[in-house]
Structure 1
Amino acid sequence: MTQLASHSHSRFNQGSGGGWHPNDPAIVAGYIGWLRQEAKARNLAEAPPITALRTLVQTTPSLLSLANAMFAEALEKAPETPLGQPSVVDFDEFLVLLNVIMQTAPEAYQNKSDHPPPEYEAAGLIGFPINALLNWPMATDAGYDFFSNMLVNSSFRAILVYWSQFLVSPASTYVLTEAPRQISPITVALPWLGPDAQSEMVKVAQSALGDGPNPTPASFSDIFTCDPNQPSYGFKSWDGFFTRTFRPGVRPVSAPGDGNVIVNACESGPLQVVPDVAATDEFWLKGQPYSLTDMMANDPLAAQFTGGTVYQAFLSALSYHRWHSPVDGTVVKAFVVPGSYYLENYYQGFAGSNPDSSAPNQSQPFLSSVATRAVMFLQSDNPKIGLMCVVAIGMAEVSSCEVTVLPGQRIKKGDQIGMFHFGGSTHCLVFRPGVNLTFDFYGQTPNINATNMRVNTKLATVS
């Protein structure tokens, strides 16, 4: 039997979630306007994988029809951005703007306040910049079919791999130290290592909930491994900054000698707990039920989890992006499953009553079965837990789910087992039937806007 401590179970509530897109759509609109200006000013040669996608679509009548239809319908439903600019006009313009993104890294933003002082207030980042161009096209019927296509996803994977070459290069560090500059009439881009952005990241780290006193220091350089005396604090790329590590002691492991305590695998906010999960289910439906066989890529071990429990949580944009083992035990299997990149649940698009303006935030359970994901089966030393599974799910721009453990490897609770690169995401912990769990969410009810819980802190106890 699964218990939710003092909280009753409910499906996850809707909201923006994680800060991967600013709450104010005008900031996203200003960013798209800036991309247009950059495309005209820089006149970049088209990246080879974008040319390959263009050729695929232009030479495949069914894909060309879908590509034209999804942008036409999105433009009809949202012809202007909140800044009075036209929305992305068509597939050709999308490719032009996408080409600019290939030479940029996500920036920190401030938004002009309606109530100064201060004149500007933190607005976060556009952590899914490609998604910013596709939020409404994804929401159409044609978009659902287009982004379900295997060849389209293969092409996008090539594009994301190409972009990753920039994001791991020294050229991408410009966003860490750049001078503030105006992106639109209401938005300023700031350096990540400047005082304003550092303050926001410290605030997110310090606000994370957990077991016992919060051990988080009050400065960025005391929280994260870095050297303020080195250029870019020693970070060699945007990805190096994005995958930064906590300093020793900042995220201690709860009850390291107690196998009945399961710890949080990611710095993340609780989304939902679902018991009695089916082996197979129609995960594309409105309710987004979990389908274990699909989630675990038809692995034979999936059968052991039928009727078990899934816990899902969402990572924050300004937080920590590595995965840690929730238990002491042994790695049984660990592999990455290729999947979709810009597909959302059909009913979170225009087919539903409340289209997701930050797609695919509202589609996280659905994505557990279709998106690129890492599947890690762990055999806990505690027989009351036994075999469990960690599923790290890539969303949108996440082109790399990196597993850092091998089958047969012994791991301790709190040991690193992998990481997300380039963007944020969601993850699931899956338990077999009969594992009696009591979760602790530290006074909050799971929902898409939940506050982060600290990685390695107590998440649940088993009895």
Structure 2
Amino acid sequence: MGSNRLFAESPRKHPKELAPSVQALVEYVKRPENDFLRIYIGSMLDAANQKNPLNIKTPADFFQQLDNALYSLPKYDANFMAALPFYTVLQPFMENGPGWAFFTNEGIRPYFSAILKAYHDKLETPASLAYMNDSYGNWLSADAREYLSLDDYVYSPSAPHGGFKSWNEFFIRKFKNLDASRPLAPDPSGKAIISPVDGQVWKISKQVQREATFDIKGEQYYLTDLLNEPADSPFLSHVNTRTVLFIESIGEVAMVFVGLTEVSSCVATVKAGDLVQRGDDIGHFAFGGSTGRRSRPSASRTVPHWATAAAGLGRSSITS
């Protein structure tokens, strides 16, 4: 699986050669008072390997893999998960109890936040464009161009790297003609709700109670916490980054955007008091960033070929 591939491609480093953000996590876990964290790590590795043997069998392997992911660049694959090195490394361990206990620990969160911030900074540089060319298997190849509908987006096929200055600039590329690429359905009633992104409807719940729980990307959320949680709550320590947008329309509509591991930057382009209409651009996701933060109110927009749309009913205003 992916974690084995990442591990095999990179030579073993001495602990002092690991990236500073990874070294900081290692040193924190090694503190005498954090013996329980070392137990969590060992137990989560054992549980994952019992389920599916991996090349990550020891804590040293685990930290090496984090370093490998930090120095990896997203690679094109029709299965977009292949472009997520951190998710590839962490996913086997996020599924078991000891892994949950480790990743939800309040002391651990800032260290993973720093690692993902370092990853974000890396993907903001020209060096992140190593696979941004038209060679077979890369992001501007004929196969990728067709699969990602790249001709619908603003880029320069003849320019180096398609004219993009960084991986994240490619990731949040704009449509040439949004109305043509993602036309809005007619709405003579002025009450139609549209999808905020290109995606599949997973579940529809009606008459939801205040204390209801939701499963979002494998995490459990309570409705009250999801919509009205203080920005500094401990609850945020075990969830992916999320951004919540409240829209005054027919009543108040809440849109909750949840990042996925390394896609952990939610960048809002609207603020309290702004007026929005169906189809307006309200923000975007980006690679890297920090986990466990929420802004209120704000919004999120596109990943590569998702639609840009506000889930408003007619013309609506952003509330605080």
Q: How high is the TM-score relative to the length of structure 2?
A: 0.80
What is the 5 A alignment of 1:43-192?
A: 45-59=17-31, 60-79=34-53, 86-109=54-77, 123-177=79-133, 179-180=135-136, 190-192=137-139
Q: 2:198 aligns with which of 230, 253, 267?
A: 267
1:229 matched to 2:98:
no
What is the 5 A alignment of 1:208-223?
A: 220-221=150-151, 223=152
What SS does structure 2 have at the residue aligned with 1:270? coil
Q: Is the 8 A contact 2:81 2:88 kept in 1?
A: no
**Cα displacement (A) at 1:40:** 4.0
Deviations 1:350-393 (A, max 9, x none): xxxxxxxxxxxxxxxxxxxx33210111112xxxx221111111
Partner of 2:291: none
Q: 1:376 aligns with which of 239, 245, 250?
A: 245
**Cα distance in 2 between the residues matched to 1:54 and 1:196:** 40
Task: Note closer, same or farther for the CA distance 1:288–1:101 as it changes in structure 2 (3 Å cut).
Answer: closer
**Cα displacement (A) at 1:35:** 3.5
Task: Note closer, same or farther for the CA distance 1:61–1:453 as it changes in structure 2 (3 Å cut).
Answer: closer
Task: Note closer, same or farther for the CA distance 1:52–1:145 as it changes in structure 2 (3 Å cut).
Answer: same
What SS does structure 2 have at the residue aligned with 1:51? helix
What SS does structure 2 have at the residue aligned with 1:416? coil
Task: Note closer, same or farther for the CA distance 1:246–1:453 as it changes in structure 2 (3 Å cut).
Answer: closer
**Cα distance in 2 between the residues matched to 1:290 and 1:34:** 32
**Cα displacement (A) at 1:256:** 6.5
**Cα distance in 1 between the residues matched to 2:15 and 2:25:** 19
1:198 matched to 2:145:
yes
The one-letter code of the counterpart of 2:98 is A
Q: Is the 8 A contact 2:134 2:142 kept in 1?
A: no
Deviations 1:29-76 (A, max 9, x none): 6xx334333234999932111111111111111111111111122223
Deviations 1:151-206 (A, max 9, x none): 212211111001101111110011112755xxxxxxxxx1110111212213xxxx
The one-letter code of the counterpart of 1:422 is F
The one-letter code of the counterpart of 2:23 is T
The one-letter code of the counterpart of 2:208 is V
Task: Note closer, same or farther for the CA distance 1:460–1:417 as it changes in structure 2 (3 Å cut).
Answer: closer
**Cα distance in 2 between the residues matched to 1:256 and 1:93:** 55
Q: Is the 8 A contact 2:135 2:141 kept in 1?
A: no
What is the 5 A alignment of 1:253-264?
A: 253-255=184-186, 258-264=189-195
**Cα displacement (A) at 1:143:** 0.8
The one-letter code of the counterpart of 1:240 is E
**Cα distance in 1 between the residues matched to 2:173 and 2:60:** 36
**Cα distance in 2 between the residues matched to 1:407 and 1:75:** 48
Partner of 1:251: 182
**Cα distance in 2 between the residues matched to 1:43 and 1:192:** 33
What SS does structure 1 have at the residue aligned with 2:110? helix
Task: Note closer, same or farther for the CA distance 1:229–1:375 as it changes in structure 2 (3 Å cut).
Answer: same
**Cα displacement (A) at 1:298:** 2.7
**Cα displacement (A) at 1:87:** 3.0
**Cα distance in 2 between the residues matched to 1:292 and 1:137:** 26
**Cα displacement (A) at 1:416:** 1.0
Structure 1 unmatched ranges of 5 or more: 1-25, 80-85, 110-121, 181-189, 203-219, 300-334, 344-369, 424-451
List 4+ stretches of structure 1 deviating above 6 A: 41-44, 335-339, 457-461
Comparing both structures, which one devotes a greater share of its residues to strand? 1
What SS does structure 2 have at the residue aligned with 1:150? coil
Structure 2 unmatched ranges of 5 or more: 289-304, 315-320
Deviations 1:99-138 (A, max 9, x none): 12222221014xxxxxxxxxxxx55551331121222222
What is the 5 A alignment of 1:311-322?
A: none
The one-letter code of the counterpart of 1:376 is L
Deviations 1:74-95 (A, max 9, x none): 223322xxxxxx4311221121
Higher relative contact order (CA 8 A, sep 6+): 1
**Cα displacement (A) at 1:236:** 1.1
Q: Is the 8 A contact 1:169 1:237 kept in 2?
A: yes
Q: Is the 8 A contact 1:36 1:97 kept in 2?
A: no
Q: How high is the TM-score relative to the length of structure 1?
A: 0.57
Q: 1:400 aligns with which of 265, 271, 282?
A: 265
